[in-house]
Amino acid sequence: MKNRKKGIVFAFLILILANVATVHAHCPLCTGAVGVAAVSAKYFGMDSSIIGLFIGAFGISTGIWIGKKIKKEFIKYQLPIITVLSFLLTVVPLSGIGDDNLYLPLLLFGEPGSAFNKINWMDKIVFGSIVGGIITLVGYWLHNFIKKVKGRVLFPYQGIAISLILLFAGGLSFFFIFR
């Protein structure tokens, strides 16, 4: 019964994807791909930083997608504001799903406990989200740069491919760093 439900969901997703019109950078498909990657990382028991990586990418992708859908600019810096708000509204509520912390010792000089001689910590999901957001912005910039230089998209779903390759490289790096 469980496999049948999975098959129905999979068939439904295939039907939706088969009816997708022209795909632009950071569209619903890009955002969905990153969201699926985040859920998959959690399902396979990956480190919280890897899950955060995809959560941050999802927040940035959603913000860019929604911001580009609004054709008229109502306020200055509208797209960056929408993107940052989307990132924060995605990351902040989801930062509590893990309880792992990343400890960053800064033991340079001074009395113990001073600004330059203490151990700082950061939630791994928040850390991964920040890195994932940056990676997504780099992927988005790289996709637009290629389009500008070459005058066209080099292959179908180029924006998705670049973003996911960079995110998986970041996730692989986190896997070996934090294991």
C-alpha torsion angle, residues 132, 135, 140, 144 (rounded to 10) = 180
Domain-embedded: residue 17: no
Domain presence at residue 44: yes
Q: What angle do CA 111, 116, 118 make, to 5 degrees?
A: 75
Residue at 14 is within a domain: no
Host H or E run for residue 56: helix 48-69
Angle between helices 158-177 and 124-150 (to 10 degrees): 150
DSSP code of 80?
Answer: H
User: Does 49 reside within a domain?
Assistant: yes
| Residues 34, 48: Cα–Cα separation, whole Å | 16
Residue 163 lies in a domain: yes
Q: 101 has which bridge partners?
A: 123
CA angle 132-135-137, nearest 5°?
A: 110
Tell me which residue has tokens 């490289």. Answer: 169
Residue 53 lies in a domain: yes
Q: Is the residue at 125 inside a domain?
A: yes
In order along its 179 residues, the chain shows pLDDT tens digits of 555 555 554 555 455 545 444 444 455 666 667 667 767 777 777 788 888 998 999 899 989 989 989 988 899 999 999 999 999 998 988 887 777 888 878 888 878 778 788 888 888 989 999 999 999 999 999 999 999 998 888 888 888 899 999 999 999 999 898 87
Give a yes or no: residue 69 inside a domain: yes
Q: Which domain holds residue 119?
A: 26-177
pLDDT 10s digits, 77-115: 999 999 999 999 989 888 877 778 888 788 888 787 787
Q: How many domains does the chain have?
A: 1
Kindly provide the b/e burial profile for residues 65-103, where b requires at least 16 CB atoms within 10 angstroms of the residue's own CB: bbbeeeeeeeeeeeeeebbbebbeebbeebbeebeeebe
